[in-house]
Structure 1
Amino acid sequence: MGGNTDQMRADLERIRECADAILGIHDTFANSANPAEGYGKSELGATTLLDAFDDFEDNWSIRRGKLTDELKALGDIVAGAAEMYEGIDRELAQALRDNDAAREGAS
C-alpha cells in the first residue's frame, strides 16, 4: 500500500505544479500589454507601423481577456482536482484506520 500512496502523492504534487504553472501563465497574460505602448511615430518611424501596433493592441486586449479567463478557470479546476483527490485520500485512509481499529477491538 505504501508504494501506491507514494505514487498518489507524486501525482498530487504534479497536479498542484500544473495548477501553479497555469495560474502563472494566466498572470503573465493578464499583465501583458501592447509592446509598442508609449511609443510614437518618432520612435517607430512610420504611422503605418504605429497603426499596426494600435490594431494589435485592440485585438490583443479582447483575445487576452478571453484567454486569461479560460486560463484562470482551468487553473482553478486543476487546483480543485488536487484538493479533491487529497480529500478522498484522507477519507480513505481514515476509513481504513477505523476498520483496523474495529477489527482489533473485536479480537
Structure 2
Amino acid sequence: MNASEGYAVFFFPQALEALGDAVKPYLTGQAEGPHIFCKEIDTAGAFTEMTLVGQSPDGHNVELELMVPSSMIRMIVSAHSDGSSFGFGPRPMVKPATPATPPITPVA
C-alpha cells in the first residue's frame, strides 16, 4: 500500500454549527463540502486528533494538533499519491472493451 499524503475529515452539519467560528480557519474544500485536510489522524478514544500543517503569519511552517469529539465526524477519506486520480471532480469516461470474438448466438 502506498504512503498516505493526508486525510480529508468531513463533519456532520450540526458539528460545524456547534464548533462555530473556532473551526472555520481550518476548513477547506467548499465544493466537496467543508472538511479539514490533515497530515495525520488518530481515531483512538473519544476524541479524534488531527495533525495539520500550516504557515504562521510570518511565513514559518507550523504543525497544529486539533482534537474534536469523534461523534462529530461523518467520514474520513485517505489521499494517496499512486498516480491515480483522487477527489470528487468529474473523471474521464473509460470506453468498455470490445470483445475479441463475436457473441455466440444460440441455436433454436
What TM-score bracket applies, with the shorter chain setting the length? under 0.3
Pick the structure with more helix per residue.
1
Relative contact order (C-alpha < 8 Å, sep 6+): which is higher?
A: 1
For normalisation by structure 1, the TM-score amounts to 0.21
Work out which of the two has the higher radius of gyration on C-alpha atoms and give 1 or 2.
1
Q: Which structure has greater strand proportion?
A: 2
TM-score, with length taken from structure 2 = 0.20
